Amino acid sequence: MSRLPPPAPLLAGLLAAFVGFVSSFSVVLAGLTAAGASPAEAASGLMALSVGVGLSCLLMSLGTRMPIAAAWSTPGGALLAGAAMPVGGFPAAVGAFLLAGALVVLTGAIRPLGRLIARIPGPLAAAMLAGVLLPICLAPVRAAAQEPLGVLAIAGTWFVVGRFNRLLAVPAAAAVTLALLATHAAPAATILPAALALPVLVVPQFDWSALVGIGLPLFVVTMASQNVPGLAVLKVYGYQPAPGPLFAATGLATLLVAPFGGHAVNLAALTQAICAGDEAGADPAMRWWAGVSSGIAYVAFGLGAGLVASFAARDPLLVQALAGLALIGALTAAAGAMMEKVELREAAVLCFLVTGSGTAFSGISAPFWGLLAGGLVLGARQMRRS
């Protein structure tokens, strides 16, 4: 008789999925909407991402017998929220999602490409990420000027709960946000169809400015802030999976969900620690069940994504405030990393300023120009030394 899975990894996987979904669904919706998605397309994107993440967790954990946790790219959602809407609208954004997914697949399949990405200086990648996160992290301040009571209730919950348990701070704030949004909810007759919303197929357009301005930065930020850290977390807990197949699997998942509005599936970092750490049980050999239960939970959450999106549409300001609070920790970490090396600070600060400006040139969004500006300053500094 086969051995039954112990409860600890199953519960850890459920917790990881809950934290991952609730902590950042607002970032995803804000990003897709800023990229030109209609309410139906944004709900479809959230649904596709949830199902894609769930199936990725399930299949990778079953295939490796390791607790592999997948997630959507929260920094990628912030990138979309801060970038200018592509000239071709959401279809052009979907084309950029496909490019990012294809590049991740190639990174997994071609080792030299992976090494090339690894050569991007960490402070420069962190500076671009910090610049991407800055505008959305300012959203709670702006929202408080228009809806002070609601935003203060959300921010107060985030702050108080965070003093006791940082992991539950954003989920608690999300619960308050959903409660406030419920006061604006439509009659039940309109909520039920939203809950049963179907995926919306978006025919991609391949516009060069969107490919360069969104697709390339999305690839870089996803690799640098999600895939590589996620792999590092696994190694911390004694798991040594082959990186290539995992990167290729998440890239393939991105290619599958992109036509339905999903921007990026990747390895998880924070929730990976929940699935692979001590919370998942004393026996490391059985922790792979955490990845399985997390995957099943993500698929279940995806089936209700339409309801979540319909509630979020009632008051976008509150959702933007929640998204900003959810990313403060990421902004803090990125800002610290970009200033870590004295010799790279000038290039990193310039990258941060150009990216954070949100200014697009020639139809190409700011993150690309920020990374380019920082790279030029760094290259000139190295030439001067040689």
Which residues of the chain fall below pLDDT 50? 1-2, 187-193
Given this model, what pLDDT does residue 193 score? 46
How many CB atoms within 10 Å of residue 4?
7
In the three-class reduction of DSSP (H, G, I as helix; E, B as strand; rest coil), residue 45 is classed as helix
Q: How far is CA 358 from CA 73, 133, 260, 378, in A?
A: 19, 11, 26, 21
Is residue 185 within 8 A of residue 24, CB to CB? The reply is no
User: Which residues, in sequence order, are CB contacts of 47 under 8 Å at separation 6+?
Assistant: 197, 199, 260, 302, 303, 305, 306
Report phi then psi at 193, rounded to 5. Answer: -60, -35
d(CA 330, CA 125): 13
Given this model, what pLDDT does residue 192 score? 43
d(CA 174, CA 26): 9
> How confident is the model over 162-204, as pLDDT tens digits?
898 877 887 888 889 888 888 875 544 444 445 556 789 999 9
Q: Spell out a b/e string for 229-262, using b for 16 or more CB atoms within 10 Å of the CB, else e.
A: bbbebbeebebebebeebbbbbbbbbbbbbbbbb
Given this model, what pLDDT does residue 62 score? 95
d(CA 54, CA 17): 9
pTM for the whole structure: 0.79
Helix, strand, coil percentages (3-state) for the chain, rounded to 5, are: 75, 0, 20
Report residue 68 as tokens: 């592999």
